[in-house]
Chain A
Amino acid sequence: METNKISKVDLIFEHIDPREVLTKACGMSGEEIIEEILASGLKGRGGAGFPTGMKWKFCSQEKEETKYIICNADEGEPGTFKDREILDRVAYKVFIGMAIAGRAIGAKKGIIYLRGEYKFLLPQLRMELDGFHKMIEEIGCEFEIDFRLGSGAYICGEESALFESIEGKRGEPRNKPPYPTASGLFGKPTVINNVETLVNSVIIIKYGSESYKKMGTQFSTGAKVFSVSGDTAIPGIYELELGMSLLEFVKEFGDGDTKAVQVGGAAGFCVPRKLFASTVIGFEGVPTGGSMKLFNSSRSMYNVLHNYLEFFNEESCGQCTPCRVGCQQLLRGVESVKKGESKSTYLNELVKLSDSMKIASKCGLGQSVGNAFNSIVENFREEIIY
């Protein structure tokens, strides 16, 4: 595709013969699977974009007997609702993806950590899981999946906090290293992937990495499911090739008055209209876990920022100083500037603070608060002050 154009595809939700792809995967060795995933250039679809093949490779090299595959279905990023749709419509592909990952690294046990608010999906998922267990047994492959429910904390989507939560402890991120591939759930080597990443691995095994790579760009291969919301006439779930420009995206989904797009949810970046043309949606530009929120000129960017900061203020786990206190300071800081209690130049101090939070926080939550903060303050400074 031309790199900046919109190109819709239908691979994630396309119905396939589960037995066929599972049989194919079970016929491949772990190394062969990893080679294929590495060749595809697949990167994590949860937002951070770590190369999936590398993750699997690291974990496959660990000598432990017990290993785990975790499916991160704690979809909590504001404005992201694609994993719910995937689990609702093609859960069997998620199960197969986990089995493929399990085969790749030598794990026989998988756990789906399901967002607490998605509990309503559970009866249906359990039924489908029974079918999967039966099928994989018939094929002669060994892999078992179970569910764990989250309890509503955003931080439990962070991989190590998620492990703590499954282990029955308070969901707080761990120090890294050690990384999950070496020491994850219950201290065992663990691969943790997003729902959509796992489904992508099924697509790659079914169609081959060569054909997969034809989608997207060199650094952002494949397609991605986007959750489109905000000021658009057609909100919803769309599967699009990576690498389009934000301008093309806005042309397709905007209402003609789009002034900014928040790419990647609260933890992502706010891109103003003047940068639409030069912004690529992908790992070489602005990455996203899927959330695309459009704002038109009727929206106050102060309110948008305030909303995000309130969110972080509540959802920080609170263990590290930069995130726990930093979020409170950013929130109270913009409030006091807005009320005229602090000088507008205080915003400069807050930007410096958010820069420190980016590099000094313990986990990805605190490190990404500054993304939204800085991009909104830099581009909509007057809306924050006046």
Chain B
Amino acid sequence: MKKNKMVNLKINNQPVSVPEGTMILEAAQKLNINIPTLCNHDDLCVAGNCRVCVVEQKDARVLAAACAQPVAEGMDIHTNSLKVRNARKHVVELLLSEHRADCTKCYRNQNCELQELANEFSFGDHIFLDLVGEHEQLIDRTSASIIKDDSKCIRCQRCVRTCSALQRVSAIAVSGKGSEMKISTFLDRPISHVVCTNCGQCVNRCPTGALTEKNYIDYVWDAIYDPKKHVVVQTAPAVRVGLGEDLGYDPGERVTGKMVTALRQLGFDSVLDTDFSADLTIMEEGTELLTRLKKALVDGDKETVLPMYTSCSPGWIKFIEHKYPEMLKNLSTCKSPQQMFGALAKTYYADKREINPEDIVSVSIMPCTAKKFEANRPEMRDSGYKDVDYVLTTREFAVMIKQAGLDFRTLEPSRYDSLMGDSTGAAAIFGATGGVMEAAIRTAYEIVTGKPVPFENLNITPVRGMEGVKEASLKIEGCVDEWSFLEGAELNVAIAHGLTNADKVMNAISKGEANYHFVEIMACPGGCIGGGGQPIPTNMAIRQKRIDAIYAEDMALPVRKSHENPEIVQIYNDFLEKPNSHKAHELLHTHYVERVRY
């Protein structure tokens, strides 16, 4: 690799040498000099919009934005001169003057980057006039997932860059100029009526409370305190490796046992696990894949198309419905684990526990904002009721724990309730990019060959990692009779996370440049662990720690293949008969719709 030329400069009179092309901000970080930032975000391209990070360069006419200005030989930078302090204070004061600083009522109170800056730079009286009232204050509550409050928006455009560059969705963009400039949608339509996938990545990156998830906490409390209601809760695989961050733990801490205890203490009647239905998803989706392979490759069925796409990620589902409706037939018909769980909670679970499904309230705790939308889809009522009543994000769950006054750290770990609470390592890794693929291969390979996958400790490392698009091939050898047509076949798979990467894969497939059989796509960077409902902040290092925790969770579990989950075996024996049975189709599978292109 070509080594970059080194550039020498001084920051606050301290010499530093950094590679050419480094921004002043990074050079300062190398010297442990803190320069405040706001519009800058590790995951996003440089903007230089907010001007909080301005620094003084000796002999320069104007200040430089440290996040956007590359170093140059001999630069003499001062990060805390009088000019800089005055300009920064003015910038913060200006932002406060256009921001509805309703801090005590704000969902982001004490986790707001503007509030932090205000603490540092602008205590005391406001210098400037309040401009909030000058603008039309519309709060868009039309989405089931996301609330957009323009009166709290400071126009840093992190959300715009997230939506366009990170996700290639561009549901939100800048409109108007000058004092009319704002973050808007196509023709100012409600956010529920544009291409928004509800992924919530914008929410994760919004420095203030302008973009938040729609909050269902009070509905859940009401259900818990309603004596007539039996409230079941399920927790997604990624929640247990993220929740800790909102409760004072470092990223990457697994808090599964304490989390289960907390749920019980909050008053949920039954604490169950989405990991159970993740295992179920593998049975259904794995079988669907093998059936599709047979139909397409052996029977020559023209109606059956390959590759098959996973369908666990509701952000991804909405993305393909908007952008590639012609490929909806490639989507697995399997509902996501959340919705499979919901459909079974009000049928199988209700039967077994002899509870009237009408009295069951089904709550899920998800790392995801799109799941809120998913639960509200009209298709998701196959139990005869709304399959999942309320979806809470990891963040909302953390708020409930605080509201209840639980001392999370001192809670004794406990285990999930039974019936739909057992799970395997294969389900745990659903939370990481590549996890569904790995879990599916662990099971499908064994169904086809009768042997475990030929990887050490079952760890299918080629599908792991943070690369945007991963590809792998697996040669199938030693098939049992039923699947002998697959003998010697090479199974080509691809994995993408983040919708920009998904779009790349989709492009390649639609142009005929790629030949895959099975493709896993997750809407969020890193998979569900990087979901839009996870604790804020997020960045690559934090996501990596959550992923490491997920794989540690997998290794720690006694059973690591979905088909060996005893409760899965039981549900097929007692209720569903076999994977892709008529009953399974009725409850666990769904269909999709074409949506608008703007």
A319 touches B134 (CB 8 A): no
- Docked pose: A333 CA to B93 CA in angstroms: 14
Task: Tell me if A232 counts as interface (CB < 8 A to partner B).
Answer: no
Residues on the A chain within 8 Å of B50, using CB: 320-321
B91 touches A170 (CB 8 A): no
Do A356 and B48 form a contact, CB below 8 Å, given A325-B131, A328-B134? no
For window 25-79 of B, CB contacts with A under 8 Å fall at 46-52, 54, 61-63, 65, 68-70
Binds A, one of B176-184, B372-380, B417-425, B582-590: B176-184
For window 309-360 of A, CB contacts with B under 8 Å fall at 312-322, 324-329, 332-333, 336, 342, 349, 352-353, 355-360
Task: Tell me if A273 counts as interface (CB < 8 A to partner B).
Answer: no
B54 touches A360 (CB 8 A): yes
B129 touches A315 (CB 8 A): no
- Docked pose: A314 CA to B63 CA in angstroms: 24
B83 touches A329 (CB 8 A): no
Of listed A155, A352, A353, residue having the most chain B CB within 10 A: A353
Nearest chain A CB to B117 CB, angstrom units: 11
B83 touches A314 (CB 8 A): no
Residues on the A chain within 8 Å of B63, using CB: 359-360
Task: Tell me if A362 counts as interface (CB < 8 A to partner B).
Answer: yes
Complex interface bits, B135-163 against A, C-beta within 8 A gives 1, otherwise 0: 00000000000000000001101000000
A360 touches B177 (CB 8 A): no
Task: Tell me if A175 counts as interface (CB < 8 A to partner B).
Answer: yes
Contact partner, B181, options A318, A326, A358, A360, Cβ 8 Å: A318
B95 touches A321 (CB 8 A): yes
- Docked pose: A342 CA to B130 CA in angstroms: 13
- Docked pose: A317 CA to B179 CA in angstroms: 9
Nearest chain B CB to A122 CB, angstrom units: 25
Complex interface bits, A150-176 against B, C-beta within 8 A gives 1, otherwise 0: 000101000000000000001010010
Contact partner, B95, options A325, A332, A333, Cβ 8 Å: A325
- Docked pose: A326 CA to B177 CA in angstroms: 14
Task: Tell me if B86 counts as interface (CB < 8 A to partner A).
Answer: yes
A319 touches B174 (CB 8 A): yes
Do A328 and B179 form a contact, CB below 8 Å, given A175-B69, A359-B87? yes
Task: Tell me if A181 counts as interface (CB < 8 A to partner B).
Answer: no
For window 343-395 of B, CB contacts with A under 8 Å fall at none
Contact partner, A356, options B87, B98, B154, Cβ 8 Å: B87
Do A324 and B87 form a contact, CB below 8 Å, given A177-B70, A360-B54, A360-B63? no
Residues on the B chain within 8 Å of A327, using CB: 178-179
- Docked pose: A329 CA to B173 CA in angstroms: 25
- Docked pose: A155 CA to B94 CA in angstroms: 21
- Docked pose: A181 CA to B326 CA in angstroms: 45
Of listed B47, B94, B174, residue having the most chain A CB within 10 A: B94
B155 touches A319 (CB 8 A): yes
Interface residues of chain B: helix, strand, loop or mixed (majority): loop
Residues on the B chain within 8 Å of A353, using CB: 90, 94, 127-128
Task: Tell me if A361 counts as interface (CB < 8 A to partner B).
Answer: yes
How many B residues touch A, CB cutoff 8 Å?
40
Task: Tell me if B80 counts as interface (CB < 8 A to partner A).
Answer: no
Which chain B residue lies CB-closest to A312?
A: B178
- Docked pose: A355 CA to B83 CA in angstroms: 10
- Docked pose: A220 CA to B52 CA in angstroms: 37
Complex interface bits, B82-104 against A, C-beta within 8 A gives 1, otherwise 0: 01001100110011011000000
Contact partner, A153, options B65, B95, B155, B177, Cβ 8 Å: B177
Do A319 and B94 form a contact, CB below 8 Å, given A349-B127, A359-B63, A367-B62? no
What's the interface size class on A, roughly? 35 or more
- Docked pose: A359 CA to B155 CA in angstroms: 20
Residues on the B chain within 8 Å of A333, using CB: 128-129
Contact partner, B94, options A172, A315, A321, A336, Cβ 8 Å: A321
Residues on the B chain within 8 Å of A332, using CB: 129, 131, 134
Residues on the B chain within 8 Å of A320, using CB: 48-51
A318 touches B48 (CB 8 A): no
Which chain B residue lies CB-closest to A325?
A: B94
Residues on the B chain within 8 Å of A321, using CB: 49-52, 91, 94-95, 154-155
- Docked pose: A333 CA to B70 CA in angstroms: 36
Do A329 and B49 form a contact, CB below 8 Å, given A153-B177, A175-B69, A324-B181? no
B86 touches A317 (CB 8 A): no
Do A175 and B62 form a contact, CB below 8 Å, given A315-B178, A322-B90, A324-B155? no
- Docked pose: A315 CA to B178 CA in angstroms: 5
A175 touches B48 (CB 8 A): yes
- Docked pose: A357 CA to B93 CA in angstroms: 13
Residues on the B chain within 8 Å of A175, using CB: 46, 48, 65, 68-69
- Docked pose: A318 CA to B94 CA in angstroms: 13
- Docked pose: A333 CA to B91 CA in angstroms: 16
- Docked pose: A240 CA to B91 CA in angstroms: 41
Nearest chain A CB to B430 CB, angstrom units: 39
Residues on the B chain within 8 Å of A349, using CB: 127-128
Contact partner, B51, options A177, A352, A362, Cβ 8 Å: A362
- Docked pose: A362 CA to B179 CA in angstroms: 16
A314 touches B179 (CB 8 A): yes
Nearest chain A CB to B309 CB, angstrom units: 32
- Docked pose: A157 CA to B263 CA in angstroms: 59
Which chain B residue lies CB-closest to A319?
A: B49
Of listed B48, B52, B129, residue having the most chain A CB within 10 A: B129
Residues on the B chain within 8 Å of A326, using CB: 90, 94
A325 touches B177 (CB 8 A): no
- Docked pose: A220 CA to B61 CA in angstroms: 20
- Docked pose: A322 CA to B65 CA in angstroms: 12
Residues on the A chain within 8 Å of B47, using CB: 319
- Docked pose: A173 CA to B50 CA in angstroms: 14
Which chain A residue lies CB-closest to B130?
A: A332
A362 touches B91 (CB 8 A): no
- Docked pose: A319 CA to B127 CA in angstroms: 22
- Docked pose: A332 CA to B174 CA in angstroms: 24
Residues on the A chain within 8 Å of B154, using CB: 321
Residues on the B chain within 8 Å of A328, using CB: 98, 131, 134, 179
Nearest chain A CB to B155 CB, angstrom units: 7
A329 touches B97 (CB 8 A): yes
Do A329 and B179 form a contact, CB below 8 Å, given A320-B48, A358-B62? no
- Pairs of residues from A and B, 10 with the lowest C-beta to C-beta distance, nearest first: A318-B181, A325-B94, A175-B68, A356-B90, A360-B87, A316-B178, A175-B48, A356-B87, A314-B178, A359-B62
Taking A177-B69, A324-B179 as known contacts, 10 extra A-B pairs with beta carbons closer than 8 A to each other, sorted by chain A number, are A313-B179, A318-B155, A321-B52, A327-B179, A336-B129, A349-B128, A357-B90, A359-B54, A359-B62, A360-B91
Binding site for B on A (CB under 8 A): 153, 155, 170, 172, 175, 177, 312-322, 324-329, 332-333, 336, 342, 349, 352-353, 355-362, 367
12 A-B contacts (beta carbon < 8 Å):
A170-B173, A175-B46, A316-B178, A319-B155, A320-B48, A320-B50, A321-B50, A321-B52, A324-B155, A325-B97, A352-B90, A367-B62
